[in-house]
Structure 1
Amino acid sequence: MLHLFHKPAPYLEESGPGWFEPARPRPPSHTLGTLDTILAAKRSLISIFPESAYMSQVHSQRVLGRQVILANSPESVKYVMATRHDNFERKSPQMRRALEYLIGDGLFISDGETWKRRRPLVADIVHKNRVPVFGKTMEAVTVAMAERWADYGDTPFNALVEMAELTAEIIARTVFGNDLGAEAAHEVIEGFTRYQDVIDSFNIGYFLGMDEGMPIIRGPRLRRSVARVDKVIGKVIDDHLQGKGDHNSMVDLLVKRQQKSPELGLDVSALRNEAATIFMAGHETTAATLTWAWYLIANAPWVEEAVLGEIERVCGGRTPTVADVDKLDWCRAVIEETLRLYPPVPILARQAKNADRVIDVDVDPAALVLVVPWLLHRTRDLWEQPDRFLPERFVGTGRPTPYTYIPFAIGPRICAGLSFGLTEAILCFAILIQRFKVRPVPGTKVEPICRLTLRPDGGLPVTVTPRA
């Protein structure tokens, strides 16, 4: 058995007066062999890294027949993600195979000419200049959730599911231009959750020499999970193409751009893929971030006090608005520190097109190159007390050293929805924490687990108490 699965429990969590070290997997005591790596990765991709990986380095090893390179230093991250982006732009076959059934050739996994055509279009749709308009929707949906929470009493609920419903409704109204509704939101959330449970993101064929990896076996459970998502997104696209959609939504803008600029190459299938990509990435990552934020703040009352004091100074008794976000420094710091400790996409895997050299390590053609925010954000020689929850490191003028903090990736493939997602997380957090004390159910054991995105295993059962 792997050291990871030995007793005591496979996570570490510690706290004391004025400090909190949140849950993380217990690292293996040594570099895992091939079989143990495969077994650990199938359960959670962040479980494979030994303690020695949490240092600045460029490391090369072979898993079966494939060279695997870990680029875990600011210099190597910059080289892979920015300087030589053209050679390392392609997402790994594991990621492409794992997601292609759900989002087709959507921007998140596309490359080459497809990526070049669509990136400017999608980036414009979710541009930061549009955030103030979208902010009104964020406010309205979050306040509506707060009103529902007021009726929950002492009834526990899964914060991950609630945050997914919140962000799904927000992204639906902004991307799709109409209310998603509880039933449709549940279909998408449950569909993607089941998809993550079923999908195998460790593609053994790639390591056995197949440069494109093995096609995913589309069994009944996987097909059902995709069908639940497709049903909702497909109807929205059809409605817009028939002129029934909101004229200010992102999808409507995509349709109009296709009509005005056919050279962009967007057809109905592409519209569906990009809408699915924006929707899935937009709701899943922010939902996970907010869930982790509730876990962290519940264990750091001194931080919660600072947050509430700031909201009172900035907003008084009124509800925070999108116009307040730039003034809510502590709220932003909590979200940014949450993204440091629990980046929603904790592994950024690339496939080398051609031979290269990353710092002092030679790279084979088709090698798997890993930039791992989970490791980078906790690297011992780059961060002070890297495993502790310390939002104050993001308060004021201090910022992390470039290429040490990349929760939204970095370089040309930086997340197009960065401003949207960050604003959404800060605003939703501020509105809800002003009104409620959110606490995990006593006895809850939290374990970070990653198959496609980084979630608490089984979600986060919580109760909410209205503030006086």
Structure 2
Amino acid sequence: MLRLVRRSFLDIWPERSFEGDMLRARVLLRDVVICNSPALVQEAFVEHAPDYERKSPQMRHALKPLLGDGLFISDGAVWRERRKVVAPVTHVSRLASLTPPMTEAAAERAVAWRRQDPARPVDMLAEMGHLTAEIICRTIFGRQLGGEAAASVVQAFAEYQRVVGQTDTLSLLGLPDWMPRWQPPAARRASQRIAAVLDELIERVLSPEGRGEASLIRSMAEGVNPATGKAMDKEAFRNEAAVLFMAGHETTANTLAWAWYLLSQAPHAARKVQAEADALGAPATFADMPRLAYTRAVIEETLRLYPPVPLLAREAGRDGELGGRKVRKGSLVIAVPWLLHRHKRLWRQPDAFIPERFLPGGEAASKPRYTWIPFAIGPRVCTGAAFGLTEAVICLATLAAGFAPRLAEGAVVHPICRLTLRPGDTLPMHLDRRHG
């Protein structure tokens, strides 16, 4: 079973996993509890969040070389103090000011696609990776950032994911944190490369020459913890920049790649997205969001079928109960969006791509609150959820105005779960032009 988990986390679930409310297992020294209903997810991750605050050992060991004590994997006092500084930077109230790079980069990508030979497929996963990396780099470090730095970080992140799996077998078996874990040399090189590029970019942004350029790093540098009055140090800047880059690039790139794939298999849905894009008459902007209801529904349905992080795992900090059953300290307590989003008792036609369920008055509107959790839940909910959703909608609409991507003949798409859920290592698609 452990070999199967390491190879493909998504393939281990028996059919009953998509129907039950709670799943339990014991893997040698560690108990595993899966919360598989909205009520249990709320009980564990919201009502008893302090008891299940700490990320799983697997996730911590996989990401610590990359993110250090960054917000995504820290806990306790570090997490609480850091979040007070970082959360306001990406708050929804600032969204309008953060979106121009989305429109600019998407429009530039459309121009680049016009130069592509339509007969030759592109790797849509890589295309969306470079697009979202360009956006997040401009947002984090300023809009004058060149594409070379973005490409360098993208390549290093991709290499890190390739060699580091989410499943740390030693932790899954229940062995203690102090026991050394082997880190592939390629992963160390990739994390060092990312740190070097980020340090250089931060230095540039915080230099006197970079003070006139608005950016998230500049906002974090000017922000302080309201309780202590202290700002973050240089290492913390780098760690949070890495978190922002990973969360704002990798997850949205995967979502967009999945959306293009799903639309290529659903011509009726693609036509509705194209109609909304055509009605704008220009690249999509934040002001256009109310006019892109169907495009947004496509993204939300994509997030249901292919949640970027398909497993949300925490470590029980003390003995307790969930659903009336005992949970021991040290147990892994997990919400699995991959299961919850395809649960047969929660969704009509759970495996079907039906964007209409996310339109006003659609099926999703009547669901319990924690039926759809692509951005996590509780106190650790993603601070950039609105940013990522808006980015995906703007990019999809802008590119759909000129192109109808089509899956390359013979291509087989099979989801793989590493640190995030990806449509394989590549996604070959033809860029069919819609106009001329």
Q: TM-score, normalised by structure 2?
A: 0.95
**Per-residue displacement from partner, 1:304-349 (whole Å, max 9, x unpaired)?**
1222223334x2x333222111221100000000000000000000
For 1:300, the aligned partner's letter is: A
Instruction: Name the aligned partner's letter for residue 269 of structure 1.
Output: E
Tell me the equivalent position of 2:177: 212
Give 1:41 deviation, angstroms: 1.6
Which of 160, 180, 199 in structure 2 is aligned with 1:195? 160
Q: How many pairs were matched up? A: 430
What code does the residue aligned with 1:168 have? A
Looking at structure 2, the residues matched to 172 and 244 of structure 1 have their Cα atoms a distance apart, in angstroms, of: 18
Task: State the partner residue of 2:222.
Answer: 256
Match of 1:165 in 2: 130
> Where in structure 2 are there 5+ consecutive unaligned residues?
none
Match of 2:207 in 1: 242
1:464 aligns with 2:424: no
Q: Does 1:226 align with 2:191?
A: yes
CA RMSD of aligned residues (A): 1.7
> Mean alpha-carbon deviation: is it higher for 439-448 or for 247-256?
247-256
2:391 corresponds in structure 1 to 424
Q: How does 1:95-114 map to 2 (within 5 A)?
A: 95-114=59-78
After superposition, residues 74-223 of structure 1 pair within 5 angstroms as 74-154=38-118, 155-212=120-177, 214-223=179-188
Which residue number in structure 2 is paired with residue 320 of structure 1? 284
Deviation at 1:80, TM superposition (A): 1.1
1:263-274 equivalent positions in 2, closer than 5 A: 263-264=229-230, 266-274=232-240
Partner AA of 2:250 in structure 1: E
- 2:246 counterpart (280, 289, 299): 280
8 Å CA contact 1:203–1:214 kept in 2: the answer is no
Q: d(CA) in 2 for partners of 1:459 and 1:160?
A: 6
Which residue is 1:12 aligned to? none
Report the Cα distance in structure 1 between the residues aligned to 2:323 and 2:59, rounded to whole angstroms: 25
Please state whether the residue corresponding to 2:250 is helix, strand or coil.
helix
- Shift in Å, 1:211: 3.7
Aligned ranges for residues 435-446 of structure 1 at < 5 Å?
A: 435-446=402-413
> For the Cα contact (< 8 Å) 1:43–1:451, is it kept in 2?
no
How much has 1:114 moved relative to structure 2? Answer: 0.8
Q: Secondary structure at the residue paired with 2:370?
A: coil
1:309-348 correspondence to structure 2 within 5 Å: 309-313=275-279, 315=280, 317-348=281-312
Rounded to whole Å, the distance in 1 between the matches of 2:226 and 2:36 is 43
Contact 1:69 1:369 in 2 (8 A): yes
Q: Secondary structure at the match of 1:248?
A: coil
Q: Which residue of 2 aligns with 1:407?
A: 374
- Counterparts in 2 of 1:390 and 1:259: CA distance versus 1, 3 Å: closer
Q: Could you tell me which residue of structure 1 aligns to residue 414 of structure 2?
A: 447
Q: Distance in 1 between matches of 2:153 and 2:407?
A: 25
- Quick one: structure 1 residues 147 and 410, their matched pair in 2 at CA, closer, same or farther if it must change by over 3 Å? same
Q: Please tell me whether the aligned partners of residues 97 and 213 of structure 1 are also in contact (alpha carbons under 8 angstroms).
A: no
Residues 166 and 419 in structure 2, CA contact (< 8 A), matched pair in contact too: yes
In the TM superposition, what is the alpha-carbon distance from 1:265 to its structure 2 partner?
Answer: 6.0
Per mean C-alpha deviation after superposition, the further-off stretch among 192-201 and 93-102 is 192-201
- Structure 2 letter corresponding to 1:452: L
Superposed CA offset, 1:392-419 (max 9, x none): 1001233232110000011111100011
Please give the TM-score of this superposition, normalised by the length of structure 1: 0.88
How far does residue 214 in structure 1 lie from its aligned partner after superposition?
A: 4.4
Are 1:446 and 1:457, in contact at CA under 8 Å, matched by a contact in 2? yes
CA distance in 2, matches of 1:277, 1:283: 10
Per-residue CA deviation, residues 270-313 of structure 1 (Å, 9 max, x unaligned), is: 11101110111110010000000000000000111222223334
Contact 2:164 2:184 in 1 (8 A): no
Q: Contact 1:204–1:213 at 8 Å: present in 2 too? A: no
Is 1:289 matched up with 2:255? yes
Q: Which moved more, 1:207-216 or 1:78-87?
A: 207-216
% identical equivalent positions: 44
Of stretches 370-379 and 253-262 in structure 1, the one that deviates more from structure 2 is 253-262
1:295 partner letter:
Y
Judge conservation of contact 1:42–1:451 (CA < 8 Å) in 2: no
CA contact (8 A) 1:348 1:409 kept: yes
